[in-house]
Amino acid sequence: MSRKTEKGLMAVLDFFEKHRDECEGKSQEEIQELLNQFIQEYNSQIFNQAPLTENTAKTADDWYDLACEAKSKRKAIKYSENALELEPDYLDAELMLADMTACSDIEHLERLEKVCKHGEELMKKEGHLPNSVGSFWGILETRPYMRALCSKLQALIDMGMMKKAIDVAEEMLTLCESDNMGIRFQLVSLYAYFEDAMNANRILEKYPGHETSMLMPLSLLYFKLGDLELSKKYLNTLMEINKDFKEFLKYTNRYPVQSFYDDAIRQGYRPNSMGEIILCLMDSTFLFERADAYFEWANQICNPKKTKKKKSTTKK
């Protein structure tokens, strides 16, 4: 969901909060009419408002929008700081500053931990912890905190702190049981990295389904454990749901992953396509970067070489 859409939803929720008494006792049709009128006025206001610049920015949201659109790092930092001056609890602006101002990986992680700590305090203050555990992300006010946790998760993976990354991923799934952010796929890859079949299967049981990003790490997991039959089972399912996988395997030894990634970007992302294969590889590089033997074996399974028939030497 884009930031523009999030802001629109927040405006709708704010409208209902302000008109709660007015809506009470009205029929569904009357409430819908009020909502339609508000949306029409809101869209008209957005359409007619002056272009957002340093001179027209008034709110923390305005300054953060400018930071997101800034063409230089210096301006993005300045705009984020302006947003925080107006609203010290603006977690997204705080997260942007953590990403842009850290001078080293460890400093970046320390800053992210501070942002997440601040976010946790806000969630407790607003009553989302513990009252909304399981429903995070579905509640718009919780999204900045979830984005901060996601950044921390990625930073831990990039620094090789895999067990700490697992803890953060598990926490995110506890907070958001519907997993709108797709954290389960990276978590299964982390468990595959540690050859932890029990916990990988626990995640699979909680989120059943046939997605490329789930089947690829599972197949590799059982290859690493030496259970080739089970690895092949997931491989066969993968070939059934993603017709691009066989083609991908043909070229894994000839082309770098980046070339597939560039091609997938040009084509656009689609579930169970080359795009999802590349997304899985890029998100879980830590797992697949040493999987040459697996890909070679998988290619032999998926693209077996055809044996040529020997010519008969019998004279007619």
Per-residue pLDDT reduced to its tens digit, 39-63 = 777 676 666 667 889 999 999 999 9
Q: Which pLDDT band, with edges at 50, 70 and 90, does 3 fall under?
A: low
DSSP-based three-state secondary structure for 181: coil
Cα torsion angle, 257, 211, 179, 137, sign: positive
Q: What is the pLDDT of residue 96?
A: 98
- 10 Å Cβ neighbour count for 36? 10
Is pTM beyond 0.85 here? no
Length of the chain: 316
Q: Is the pLDDT of residue 234 over 90?
A: yes
Q: What is the pLDDT of residue 18?
A: 72
Task: Kindly state the percentage of the chain with pLDDT values over 70.
Answer: 81
Q: Which pLDDT band, with edges at 50, 70 and 90, does 26 fall under?
A: confident
- What average pLDDT does this structure show over 282-309? 87
- Model confidence pLDDT, tens digit, residues 262-276: 666 666 668 888 889
The CA distance from 44 to 57, in Å, is 19
Q: Residues 6 or more apart from 262 whose CB is under 8 A from it?
A: none
- What average pLDDT does this structure show over 75-79? 98
Q: Is the pLDDT of residue 255 over 60?
A: no
Q: Cβ(118)–Cβ(147) under 8 Å?
A: no
Q: Residues 6 or more apart from 132 whose CB is under 8 A from it?
A: 123, 139, 142
Cα torsion angle, 23, 27, 31, 37, sign: negative
Q: Cβ(140)–Cβ(16) under 8 Å?
A: no
Mean per-residue pLDDT of the chain:
88
Dihedral of the alpha carbons of 110, 112, 117, 123, in degrees to the nearest 10:
180
- What average pLDDT does this structure show over 137-154? 96
